[in-house]
Structure 1
Amino acid sequence: MKTGKVPPDILKKAVYPFLGQKRSEVLVHSGFGEDCCIIDFGEYVAVVSTDPITGADTAGGYLAVFVACNDIAACGARPIGILVTLLLPEGSGEDTLLRIMENVHKACQKIGIEVLGGHSEVTPAVTKPVISATAIGMAKRDNFVTSAGASPGDDVIVTKFIGLEGTAVLALDFEEYLRGKLPGEVIKRAQSFVDDISVIQDGLTAAGAGATAMHDITEGGLLGALWELAEASGVGMEIYRERIPILPETEAVCRAFELDPLGLISSGSMLICSGDGQKVVDALREKSIPATVIGKVTDGGRFILDADKKIPIVPPERDELYRAIENVKNKKKN
């Protein structure tokens, strides 16, 4: 298998048949396209999700908190805390641990959540820090959203701009590589996108405005998120390429690394379906959150319509971020 997410066909054979004994308290079980489980606690539900950070170095601790909490928000739930597991390579200094936890603390303070616990160790099993965060949130029992609720006729909405996280990671971790390819001010603006990767308000607002399904756009980028939500809901999609919101800095960074921005990790952007897309867009804009209707849910195939081309929506083999990292490493070797 290549670097990145385990492919869906392997998950279906090697993971999903082995999920233990199902519990009646679990309202949303583990399944493809669902990043959270939802547990019944009477009037409220607990929403739980876990995610690692493996592709970022400079802002890893900060990103880990938001990536996990964004999953919670994609269910229309409010995060309350995280548990963090840190695996550090042999030879790591105290300064490495301090830097990661300072970034975790900064992100938690920004969201208003607590570090509830976790684990840390130094191990030869890793060659760079691996940060895994488990987020816990809560919502009213009759007010949560999943990835499986989209229906034909729903509008498909994207908040903010795709590629924010991937652009920031590449600009922060490969600033020297980009210096000869892009103006300094473009690199600085791209680095600043790290401050825009929360979709917590996006998710809470959209859930209150009638979202039928949501998925935060993470590894695999927009292509991966579209496919996962469509797969979870059992629907088709038609997406208009010219409507997909992409910032110039993301386009510039992607050109420099020869990447497809539609396949680039995109925390900071939420994928939303709704029977009344304009109502959701208006509610988001009232919170100063940019939002764009980019297409429709259908009962047919899954395509991106680009001028006279009809491009199938399929899960990427791996995120474009990993391809960029490998390309830079290979160029350094040569």
Structure 2
Amino acid sequence: MVTPLENRLGKIPLAALRELLLGAGAGLELDANPLTGDLLVTTNPAIGVPEEWLGFFAYHYSASNLAVSFARPELAVLSAVFPEGYPGEAVERVLRSFVEECRKYGTRLVGGHTARYRGLELPLLSSTMVGRAGRRREKPAGGDRVVIVGEVGAEAAWLAGGDVDPSTLTPLPAALALQEEPSIKLMHDVSEGGVIGALLEVAQRYGVALEVSSRDVKVFEGLPRGVEPLSAPSYGAIIAVTGDAESLLSACEEKGLTCSNAGVVAGPGNPLVVVDGREYAEPPVSPLVYLYGAERRSPEEAAVALAAEELVRISRLLDVIPEVGANIAYAPGPVRSPRDVLALDGRIVKTTEGARLCGKPRYGASRHLAEVLASAREAGMPYSAAVNLKYSEDLLEKLKSIGLPVCDATPYEASCPVSEAIRSGCRAQVYFYAGKPGLEASIVLLARDPLEAIEILRKVVEQKR
């Protein structure tokens, strides 16, 4: 019987499709599948990255799968489909970047399909590649070491608007450089699911348990605060299993590769991953995966987008969303006008299926919260973020219970009672006001940044009554 498919973003676990795929003759392998003899084949989609890097990643996703399987990418087929009305010059730019990578690595593009279709929101490139394996992977044994090649979290930093060169976010050069290293039993690239997801794929493929210490993993310095490194997007890193860690680490040093001797193969048994004593049978979903998109965001825009994605995933959030919808605002610098404040150009609204995020971060999108943050700045308060919430005694008491100072802005007669309360000298982190003509009763939470606001809300909204 097929395992029910979960409705979650990202890869669909092979376990859910095992019987169906095996019945069609597919082998369940990591990265690349045997075709005939020593030929391997792999296929991957590329979607949700800026246009200028779409062709690059469409090439590297599949080429890297072959490289970590000890093969070189020899032949490629590319399917490139675009939304209706997508400009011809943009199509050409995307295809040109794919072709340039083919030339760089000696891959022959033998065919494909290019079209525009209705129903697509973003361009989608799917590459299929064939390569000849120089050797086969070896099954991990108890006592083998787990080495992570590359720094973890660089892709996460890029998604969050950090200063990262996207051309470094590929495991292909490192995988090709290590193919001849005899101490390596197998390699597997880190993709969706982060390091934990990649480790689980190895564990499940070979029926072993893997134990890893996060303290021994080298993490990219620009990883955003509050992001869990081992579940964060980390394309460019490689999981390597070796029976001789000393030789592998020495080879990495000679080739100028960053490596972490991070864990051990505990032996055959229940296929799971243990990180710092905590067991994982499935990979946690990093909220950063929701930042994939066709547009490159600034760090400030990414902070608001990430906070909004985190907000809609707080359990019982529907209880605190106002009828007008919730918004989150962020003033990264001085506030002279609403155009200096980022907020969602839509709202977080209630639906029959739960909280729904509408819109994207844009400067000048919330006059009301911008006025609140401007008043807070003028008063010398240390807050740069604000969230509007539905008023309730229960929520107010929970905010008080964690020690947040509260101010009743009801007596202040103004189009923005909270802003007027701050200007009148009422200092707090939580403001509320009862319903007024044209104003829904509301709570406004202030925080030092969007992430702190979400941390506070998760603590109080998910708190048991």
TM-score by length of 1: 0.79
Q: Could you give the per-residue CA deviations for residues 27-49 of structure 1, whole angstroms, max 9, x where no partner exists? A: xx521x522112343xxx11111
Q: For the residues of structure 1 that align with 2:285 and 2:90, how far apart are their CA atoms?
A: 28
1:282: how far off?
A: 1.4
- Structure 1 match to 2:148: 158
Match of 1:242 among 206, 215, 221: 215
Aligned partners of 2:48 and 2:122 also within 8 Å: no
- Structure 2 match to 1:12: 18
The gaps in structure 1 that reach 5 residues or longer are: 21-28, 176-186
1:130: how far off?
A: 0.6
- Could you say which structure has the larger radius of gyration? 2
- Does 2:185 correspond to 1:212? yes
- Does 2:22 correspond to 1:54? no
SS at match of 1:78: coil
Q: For the residues of structure 1 that align with 2:87 and 2:249, how far apart are their CA atoms?
A: 47
Aligned partners of 2:168 and 2:236 also within 8 Å: no
More helix by share: 1
Q: For the residues of structure 2 that align with 1:34 and 1:305, how far apart are their CA atoms?
A: 21
- Structure 1 match to 2:31: 35
- Does 2:168 correspond to 1:195? yes
Q: For the residues of structure 1 that align with 2:81 and 2:279, how far apart are their CA atoms?
A: 38
What residue identity is the alignment partner of 1:333?
G
- Structure 1 match to 2:359: none
SS at match of 1:3: coil
Q: In structure 2, do the counterparts of structure 1 residues 80 and 166 end up closer, same or farther at CA, with 3 Å as the change threshold? A: farther
- 278-287 vs 128-137, which deviates more? 278-287
* Residues 249-328 of structure 1 mapped to structure 2, 5 A cutoff: 249=222, 251-252=223-224, 255=225, 259-299=227-267, 302-306=272-276, 310-316=277-283, 318=285, 320-325=287-292, 327=305
Q: For the residues of structure 2 that align with 1:115 and 1:166, how far apart are their CA atoms?
A: 31
Aligned partners of 1:243 and 1:293 also within 8 Å: yes
1:203: how far off?
A: 4.8
- Structure 2 match to 1:124: 118
Aligned partners of 2:171 and 2:236 also within 8 Å: yes
The gaps in structure 2 that reach 5 residues or longer are: 1-6, 294-304, 310-343, 348-465
TM-score by length of 2: 0.58
What residue identity is the alignment partner of 2:18?
K
Q: For the residues of structure 1 that align with 2:34 and 2:18, how far apart are their CA atoms?
A: 21
- Structure 2 match to 1:83: 77
What residue identity is the alignment partner of 2:12?
V
Q: For the residues of structure 2 that align with 1:291 and 1:135, how far apart are their CA atoms?
A: 28
- Does 2:158 correspond to 1:145? no
Q: For the residues of structure 2 that align with 1:69 and 1:167, how far apart are their CA atoms?
A: 23
SS at match of 2:66: helix
Q: For the residues of structure 2 that align with 1:104 and 1:324, how far apart are their CA atoms?
A: 23
Q: For the residues of structure 1 that align with 2:179 and 2:261, how far apart are their CA atoms?
A: 13
Q: Could you give the per-residue CA deviations for residues 127-181 of structure 1, whole angstroms, max 9, x where no partner exists? A: 10011111211123xx1226xx21111100111112333433x15xxx4xxxxxx
Q: Aligned Cα RMSD in Å? A: 2.4
Count of aligned positions: 292
What residue identity is the alignment partner of 2:72?
R
SS at match of 1:228: helix
What residue identity is the alignment partner of 1:30?
G
